[in-house]
Structure 1
Amino acid sequence: MSVIRPGFGPADVMALRNQVLARSAALQEVRAASQQPHAASPAPAPAAGFAATLGNALRQVNAVQQRASDMQVAYERGAVTDIAEVMLARQEAGVAFEATLQVRNKLLTAYQDIMRMGG
């Protein structure tokens, strides 16, 4: 039995594939952009655990969103003239936020599953 709904053709599969590839590329760009400011600093100590890793990831998403906001304000003032660069920064921030929401949803689901197991 196929899980693909009727009318879902090869063009739909290719469109879905292209969306996945585009999001993957955007996430890689966000990660590269968030690591650039830290390149000049000394190597960080190993993470203390899950909470530290999660906190660090949230700070990186916040930095990407702040950068996009700063670029938008600079564009509105006329300091930045490349609208494509501003739009790309906004898209990166959106993708980073969506990824954060997905991680939150998975963590919440896992927590609820664990809470249901006890009893």
Structure 2
Amino acid sequence: MDSITQVRMDMLTRMQQFTSVAQGGAVREALRSEEAQPGSFGVSFEQLIRAVDADQHRASAAQRAVEMGESDDLVGAMVDSQKASVSFSALLQVRNKLSTAFDEILKTPL
């Protein structure tokens, strides 16, 4: 499998993860207090943010290497840059969806 195909597969997997987070799953029965995993959503979201941050740093390092003449892989640097851009855009969409859902919850009459 060449590097472009691998990048496409990685991007597809990441977009599917973002889509599933943004859409939410089917309604499930609430967990009992002894079954609940405290911070599991927070931990998942933090991992997502760290992955997007890693993509941003990788793209920045690749661009810097091309600019300094340390690398001739301009296509790879551009692919990393686009991958980081798509990841960040998807993260913003998830954040916006969560913010909208939170606002709706706050507006719900008791």
Deviations 1:60-100 (A, max 9, x none): 00000000000001111111102111100000000000000
- TM-score normalised by length of structure 2: 0.66
1:27 Cα offset (Å): 2.3
1:118 Cα offset (Å): 3.7
Flag as ranges the 4+ runs of structure 1 deviating above 2 A.
Answer: 24-31
Q: Percent identity?
A: 35
The equivalent position to 2:75 in structure 1, one of 84, 87, 90, is 84
For 2:80 and 2:38, the matched residues in 1 are separated by: 28
1:57 is aligned to 2:48 = yes
Q: 1:6-25 alignment to 2 at 5 Å? A: none
SS in structure 2 at match of 1:79:
coil
1:116 is aligned to 2:100 = no
For 2:53 and 2:46, the matched residues in 1 are separated by: 10
AA at the equivalent of 1:96: S
1:72 aligned residue: 63
- TM-score normalised by length of structure 1: 0.61
User: CA RMSD of the aligned region, Å?
Assistant: 2.4
SS in structure 2 at match of 1:81:
coil
Q: Which has the higher contact order (CA 8 A, sep 6+)?
A: 2
Could you tell me which runs of 5 or more consecutive residues in structure 1 were left unpaired when the two chains were aligned. Answer: 1-23, 32-45
- Matched residues, number: 82
Change (3 A) 1:115 1:29: closer
For 1:47 and 1:117, the matched residues in 2 are separated by: 25
Larger Rg: 1
